[in-house]
């Protein structure tokens, strides 16, 4: 009877080893997935921070444009606005005014 029990011990030991190997492989797969996920999140965070910086610059540009447009809105219809348009868009000058051009 001792001979019959010996193969059972080996099969129990081999099944314990098999379970340990499977658990080890499972832990390895989970660890590698977690590491891959971490690096993917780092890439996404870098893209988000870069986009945030771009949008911040765009916001500052838009705020500057808004200020200019509000100033222009206050000038529309006034003599100063009409003079500005005549000078910039039509190239007009006042009488006895000297114009210097840079070529």
| pLDDT tens digits for range 30-48 | 999 999 999 999 999 999 9
How many domains does the chain divide into?
1
Q: How far is CA 59 from CA 47, 64, 66, 80, in A?
A: 18, 9, 10, 29
Instruction: For residues 56 and 52, give the distance between their C-alpha atoms in angstroms, rounded to a whole number.
Output: 6
Torsional sign, CA 12, 14, 17, 18: negative
Question: Please, are residues 93 and 87 in contact by the beta-carbon 8 Å criterion?
Answer: yes
Note whether residue 2 is domain-resident: no
Note whether residue 61 is domain-resident: yes
Check residue 1 and give its pLDDT: 46
Is the whole model's pTM more than 0.75, yes or no?
Answer: no
Check residue 101 and give its pLDDT: 79
The residue range of the domain holding 77 is 10-88
Note whether residue 19 is domain-resident: yes
Note whether residue 17 is domain-resident: yes
Note whether residue 103 is domain-resident: no
Check residue 6 and give its pLDDT: 55
* pLDDT band per the 50, 70, 90 thresholds, residue 7: low
Note whether residue 102 is domain-resident: no
Question: Please, are residues 86 and 80 in contact by the beta-carbon 8 Å criterion?
Answer: no
């Amino acid at each position: 009877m001792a001979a019959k029990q010996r193969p059972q011990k080996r099969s129990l030991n081999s099944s314990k080893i098999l379970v340990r190997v499977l658990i080890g492989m499972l832990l390895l797969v989970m660890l590698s997935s977690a590491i891959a996920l971490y690096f993917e999140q780092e890439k996404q965070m870098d893209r988000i921070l870069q986009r945030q910086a771009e949008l911040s610059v765009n916001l500052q540009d838009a705020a500057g444009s808004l200020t200019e447009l509000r100033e222009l809105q206050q000038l529309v219809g006034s003599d100063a606005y009409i003079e500005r348009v005549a000078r910039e868009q039509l190239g007009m000058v006042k009488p006895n005014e000297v114009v210097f051009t840079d070529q």
